[in-house]
Amino acid sequence: MARDVLHVCLVLAGALLAPGCELAGADGSDGVGGAGAAGLGAGGLGAAGAGQGALEPGLAASTLFDCEVDGVRGHCRDVGLCVGDWVPVPGHCPGPAEIQCCVPLDPGAVCDPAAAPLPNEGLAEAPGLGGCPAGMTPVADFCIDRYEASLERADGSGSFSPYHNPGATPVRAVSIAGAVPQGYITGEQAGAACAEAGKRLCSDDEWQRACRGVDDTVYPYGDALELGLCNDHRDVHPAIELFGTSDAWIWSELGNACLNQLPSSLALAGDHPGCVTPEGVYDLMGNLHEWTADPAGTFRGGYYVDTVINGPGCLYATTAHDTLHWDYSTGFRCCW
C-alpha cells in the first residue's frame, strides 16, 4: 500500500476515478493507478468484459483491433452491438454469421493507440526572461519553466510524441507555449529530461512558491476558486469515455495514448490564459500532474479531471506512487 494515501477514491455514477486510487483490482493487487514502469497492465482489453456491452465509439481507441476491412481496422462484434458511427462487414471474423467486423464510417476520426503523433514538431522555446534559460522565468531566487514540459529527442532529430512514455529514448525537456505537454512519464524520466536540458526538477518548496506566489494564495490566480479558469475538471473520466464502460479492466489501461487525445482532455500549454501566476507561470493547477524532485515520489497541482481530491489548487499533492510510476496524467516542468 502507498506510503501516504492522499489519493482518495471518488466514484460518482461511474464518472470519476482518479489515477492512483487505492482500490483492490480484480487480480487482488492494490491500486488501479496507471501503467507503471513496465507498461500497460495485463488486465487490458483482452480481459473478461472487454468486449461486453454495446460498442461505443471510444472502443476504436482500444488495443483490441481484431479484424480489418480494406485496411481499416475494426472489432469482431455481434451486428446488434455495431451501432452509431460504425458499420458491420461480414466475412472478416470467425464464428457465427452475426459476428462481423465492426468498422468506423469515418476511419480518419479513429485514434490509433499505437500511432505516435508529433503535434509539437517545428515548435521552439522562446528566450528566457530575466536572465533565465530558454522557456523559463525568474521566481524568487530560481528560474522555472513558464509552461509544462514537452519533449524533444536529445540527438536533435525532432520532437517526441507527448502521448507515449519515452522508455529508454534519450529526451530533453522544453517549455513551449502552444505545445502539447508530455504526459505518460515517470519521475525518473522527468528528472533525466530536465538534466539533459541543463535544468532539474523543482523542489516541493520551489513548486509551491511558484504556484502560490508572494501572497501565498491557494490558487495560481488568487484565493477564490474560479472553476474553468484552469483546465481543472472533467465530468466524465477519460477512460470511461474512451472505452465506453466503467468495468474494472479499464483501470489497467491508463497508459493508452488516446486518453489525452480525447476532446476536452489535455490542453495545449498556456491555452488557459487565466491560469497564470502574477510572475507569468502557466498551468500549475490542472492539465497534468507535475512531478517534483521528491525522491519518494510526489506530483502536484492536480490534472484535467481533478484538482480537489488531494488538496485544492496549489495545495494538491499526490504521494501514493514512487518515481517509477506513469500514466496519462503525469507530467512535469523544470527549475534552474
Strand order in the sheet with 334-335: 136-139, 142-145, 334-335, 200-201
Task: List residues bridging with 72 in a β-sheet.
Answer: 69
The fraction of the chain above a pLDDT of 90, given in percent, is 69
pLDDT one-digit tens code per residue, 21-64? 333 222 222 233 344 433 322 222 222 222 223 334 344 444 45
Give the per-residue SS3 of 199-239.
Answer: CEECCHHHHHHHHHCCCCCCECCECCCCCCCCCCCCCCCHH
In sequence order, what DSSP letters do the residues of 259-308 get, joined into one string?
Answer: GGGSTTSSPPTT-STTSB-TTS-B-SSSSSEEE-S-TT--EES--SS-SS
Rounded to 5 degrees, φ, ψ at 326 are: -155, 150
Residue 47: closest CA among 243, 249, 245: 249
Q: Which amino acid is at 242?
A: L
The answer to whether residue 203 scores a pLDDT higher than 80 is: yes
> What pLDDT was estimated at residue 248?
95
> What pLDDT was estimated at residue 312?
97
The answer to whether residue 19 scores a pLDDT higher than 60 is: no
What is the DSSP code (8-state) at residue 74? E
Instruction: Give pTM, 2 decimals.
Output: 0.75
Q: How far apart are CA 295 and CA 241, in angstroms?
A: 34
Question: Contact, 135 vs 194, CB < 8 A?
Answer: no
> What pLDDT was estimated at residue 102?
87
Between residues 13 and 198, the one the model is more confident about: 198
Between residues 1 and 325, the one the model is more confident about: 325
The answer to whether residue 15 scores a pLDDT higher than 90 is: no
Half-sphere exposure of 204 (CA within 13 A, CB side): 12
Mean pLDDT calculated for residue range 174-196: 98
Q: How far apart are CA 67 and CA 73, in angstroms?
A: 6
> What pLDDT was estimated at residue 84?
74
The gap between the terminal CA atoms of the chain, to the nearest Å, is 34
> What pLDDT was estimated at residue 42?
24
Q: How confident is the model at residue 198 (pLDDT cuts 50, 70, 90)?
A: very high
Distances (CA, A) of 225 to 148, 163, 264, 274, 280: 21, 30, 20, 12, 19
Q: How far apart are CA 101 and CA 75, in angstroms?
A: 5
Q: How far apart are CA 298 and CA 296, in angstroms?
A: 7
Averaged pLDDT score across all residues of the chain = 83
Lowest mean pLDDT among 9-23, 75-89, 123-137, 225-239: 9-23
Q: How confident is the model at residue 241 (pLDDT cuts 50, 70, 90)?
A: confident
The answer to whether residue 244 scores a pLDDT higher than 70 is: yes
Phi-psi sector, 59: left (phi>0), alpha (psi -120 to 50), beta = alpha
Mean pLDDT calculated for residue range 154-180: 98
pLDDT one-digit tens code per residue, 296-336? 999 999 999 999 999 999 999 999 999 999 999 999 999 99
Q: How far apart are CA 203 and CA 205, in angstroms?
A: 5
Mean pLDDT calculated for residue range 261-273: 96
